[in-house]
Structure 1
Amino acid sequence: MVDELKRRALAGDGEAEALLRFLALLRAKDYAAAKTYAEGFPEDLRERLLRGLALLAEDPKALEDPLFAAEREVVLGVEAVRQGRRAEAEAHFQGALALDPEHHRALTNLGTLYLERGDLEAALDLYQKALKLAPEDPLLHENLAALYKRKGDLDKMVAHMKRATRLKMAPPSPLDPLTGQRARRKRVPLWVWVFLLALLAYLLYKP
């Protein structure tokens, strides 16, 4: 499904591009933003997307729409982890990645399963892949901190703990619907500050 949407988007299909943006919001688990975004689609597609979002929250096992297949697998995997069914959870996360290799939460959750059973290198590989896709996910940095603690690399452990703390304390910025990631805040260029300070000095000391 994802590959087909990408192929269509590259060919100039606006609807496919919009659906890719919708999927990015699903990957980020920003269902509220996904619901708002879905309201902009034509009626039939809008109803399809809203129904899928409702089933994700209420009854994911009943969700058969291929557009939601990867997210459904992640949701079911998390539910299996909570109930202690680790093998089933791993199968769900692997299934999600087969459907959508860019699903960073599937990578993170699978990595955590590997971390729990002591397969540190496999967990690190998955976390690093997820980090490239979602560098501002605080949970991912917390998991990396836990991993580096077990590896005995205290410098990297502390670095990721600090990063996770900063991300949690920072006011959330809007999600970019194209990437599903937090939009980077625009920084004021240095020259602007220099200009403002020079102007202030001029006004203060103007004869």
Structure 2
Amino acid sequence: MVTELKAKALAGDSEAEALLRFLALLRAKDYAAARAYAEGFPEGLRERLLAGLALLEEAPERLEDPLFLAEKEVLLGVRAVGEGRRGEAEAHFQKALALDPEHHRALTNLGTLYLERGELEAALDLYQKALRLAPEDPLLHENLAALYKRKGDLDRMVAHMKRATRLKMAPPPVLDPLTGKRVRRKRVPLWVWVFLLALLAYLLLHKP
């Protein structure tokens, strides 16, 4: 599905481009943003996307729509981990990656299973792949910190812990509703603050 959408997008298919942006929101598990984004699609496709999102939250095992299958496998894998069925979870994460190799949460979760088994280099390889896809995922940096602690690399451990903390404290990103890309927040220039402070001081000093 992802390969087909990319090919269509490269050929100039605007709907395929929009669906790829929708999938990026699913990978980030930002279902609220995905729902808002889905509202901009034509009626038939909009209903399909909204129905898929509803099933993701209520009963992912019932999903059959190809657009949602990778996310479905990740959710089922996380559920299996929570219930102690790690072998089954690994199969779900592997299937998710077969469907969508860019699903960074599938990479991260699979890496964590390897980390738990002590397969540090295999886990690191998966985490690094996920990091290239989602460098601003705080959970990924926390997992990398745990891995480097196991490896005895305290400098990298501290660096990733600091990065995770900064990302958690940062305000949520603003996404352009048309492109799905991050929008830079406009900073107020320093001279504006100086002017406002001077004006406030003037008004206070000349208050009748």
Matches within 5 A, 1:154-173: 154-173=154-173
Alignment size in residue pairs: 196
Helix, strand or coil for the counterpart of 1:72?
A: helix
Residue in 2 that maps onto 1:102: 102
User: How many Å apart are 1:173 and its aligned residue?
Assistant: 1.8
Match of 2:88 in 1: 88
Query: What is the percentage of aligned positions where both structures have the same residue?
Result: 83
Q: Contact (CA 8 Å) 1:28, 1:180: kept in 2 or not?
A: no
More relative contact order, 1 or 2 (CA 8 Å, 6+ apart): 1
- The 1:82/1:177 distance shift into structure 2, 3 A limit, reads farther
Residues 43/180 of structure 1: CA separation in 2 closer, same or farther (3 Å cut): closer
Query: Aligned residue for 2:152?
Result: 152
* TM score, norm. by length of structure 2: 0.87
Matched, 1:32 2:32: yes
Alignment-mate amino acid for residue 174 of structure 1 = V
| Contact kept in structure 1, 2:18 and 2:179, CA below 8 Å | no
Q: Secondary structure at the match of 2:174?
A: coil
Deviation >6 Å, runs of 4+: 177-181
Amino acid at match of 2:31: Y
| Unmatched runs of 5 consecutive residues or more in structure 1 | none
The Cα offsets for residues 177-200 of structure 1, whole Å up to 9 and x where unpaired, read as 789775554567xxx65xx39x96
Q: Which moved more, 1:151-160 or 1:167-176?
A: 167-176
Superposed, 1:1-150 pairs within 5 Å as 1-150=1-150
Matched residues in 2 for 1:43 and 1:178: separation?
Answer: 17
RMSD (Å), alpha carbons = 2.1
AA in 2 matched with 1:44:
G
Q: Taking structure 1 as the reference length, what is the TM-score of the superposition? A: 0.88
**Aligned residue type for 2:42:** P
Unaligned runs of 5+ in 2: 200-208
Q: CA-to-partner distance for each residue in 1:141-192, whole Å, 9 max, x for gaps?
A: 000000000000000000000111111111112246789775554567xxx6
